[in-house]
Structure 1
Amino acid sequence: MKLCTLLLLIGLVSVLSLVASVGLPSNNEVLALRRFKEAVYEDPHKALSNWNTLESDPCDWNGVSCTATRDHVIKLNISGASLKGFLAPEFGKITYIQELILHGNNLIGIIPKELGMLKSLKVLDLGMNSLSGLEVPHRLEMRPFKCI
């Protein structure tokens, strides 16, 4: 009986270790996504309706794609959703993001200089918005990427 209990305990610890090794995006990445949602004051098509940081995995949120291990956000694509709001400077904290596609919304304000800190960014599509100061942050101009 003791051997059975010991084996069960070892099995449980192994499963818990495996579950713990499957990551979630960092707090900074989740905070950046949450700040963007807060900066959106109108979401007529409910594109961000499942962005609930308390009850769900951000990798399952609409428009969010993560690494295979689900520990980093690598793509955000919310196109044509008619979102009204601003770009959050906290986007600069999504350090592994490769594609930021927010085409065809009604975003206003300026492109945050913090986007220039995104070393992995390869695609930036902010077209068909009402952004002012449409200058690409200087650090993005210094490396090859696709700005649409």
Structure 2
Amino acid sequence: MQHHIGTLTVETRGRGLTDITRQVASELEAAGAVKGLVTLFIRHTSASLTIQENADPDVRHDLLAALDRLAPEGGDYVHTIEGPDDMPAHIKTMLTGTDLQVPFDRGRMMLGTWQGIYLAEHRARPHRREVVVNFIGELAG
């Protein structure tokens, strides 16, 4: 077993889903990953990671709308010091998660045909987010 760890920096445009599948694949290709398991971990509490459909953008729109209904701005929150979008962002992160695992074989992530890896930005304004890419398995060379 071999190990590779790296960090991706993702610039978000504010609330929304950013497809990071290619960035993750590029990191693994540069490391020479052949087969194993990649774990992704976002180092933030108001943004999250998810695997979702990458074909129809309506899916992403509907997912974001559903999260807004579950954790709306303007709720009766005690934590308001960082703005009205902060506590709802923490709740959305708790609901969606901060880590993912994806099997890796023959130099490729074993995602389904319509699956992509997304960073979910839950805050209204743009942020610079860090995602740790941790690969354990077989590396080339």
Common topology (TM > 0.5): no
Sort the TM-score into its range (normalised by shorter chain).
under 0.3
TM-score with structure 1 setting the length:
0.25
Which has the bigger relative contact order, CA under 8 A and spacing at least 6? 2
Instruction: Identify, as 1 or 2, the structure richer in helix.
Output: 1
Instruction: Identify, as 1 or 2, the structure richer in strand.
Output: 2
Larger Rg computed on CA atoms = 1
TM-score with structure 2 setting the length:
0.25
